[in-house]
Amino acid sequence: MGKAEALNTAMTQARGEYFACIDADSTVDSDALLYMMDMFQKDPQLAIATPVMKVDNPETWLQKFQRLEYMSSMLIIKLMGFMNSNYVAPGPFSVYKISVLRKLGKFDGKVQH
C-alpha cells in the first residue's frame, strides 16, 4: 500500500515521544540518531530533525546526480528556514515529535516522495 500507509500504520502504534523513519535503502552513521535527538533536547520547540543526506561513494552518473540533488536540497532548505518558508522533510530519514505529527494528520500517499 506504499510508504505513506506504512508510516501511518507505524505512527498509530508508536508509544514514544518521537517518531523516526528511514528508507529501507538508506544507511546512516551510527551516531546520527543520537545527534538528531540532541537537537530536540536543545530546542523544545523543535518539531522535526533531518540530517544532511548524501549518496555514499557514488559510482554511476545517476548516483552522482542524486548526491548533488541531496546536497543542493539541504542548502535550499537551510536558506528557506531563514525566510520562514514551509519545510518539506526529506524522505530518506527524519525524526518527528510525535505529538506535532499527530496534530498535522496522516502522511499523504498521493504526494510523490
Q: Are 44 and 17 part of one and the same domain?
A: yes
Pairing of strands 18-22, 48-49: unpaired
Residues of the domain holding 96: 1-51+91-113
Q: Are 27 and 45 part of one and the same domain?
A: yes
What pLDDT, on the 0 to 100 scale, is given for residue 87? 66
Residue 21 half-sphere exposure toward CB, CA atoms < 13 A: 21
In 10 A of CB 40, how many CB atoms? 18
Q: Read off the C-alpha cell for 5.
A: 500507509
Per-10-residue mean pLDDT of the chain, 113 residues long, equals: 87 92 85 92 90 82 87 79 72 89 84 52
Mean pLDDT (the chain, rounded): 85
Q: Are 73 and 25 part of one and the same domain?
A: no
Per-residue pLDDT tens over the stretch 10-31: 999 999 999 999 888 888 888 9
What pLDDT, on the 0 to 100 scale, is given for residue 113? 44
Q: Is the pTM of this model over 0.85?
A: no
Q: Residues 70-97, buried b or exposed e (16+ Cβ, 10 A)?
A: eeeebeebeeeeeeeeeeebbbbbbbbb
Number of domains the chain is built from = 2
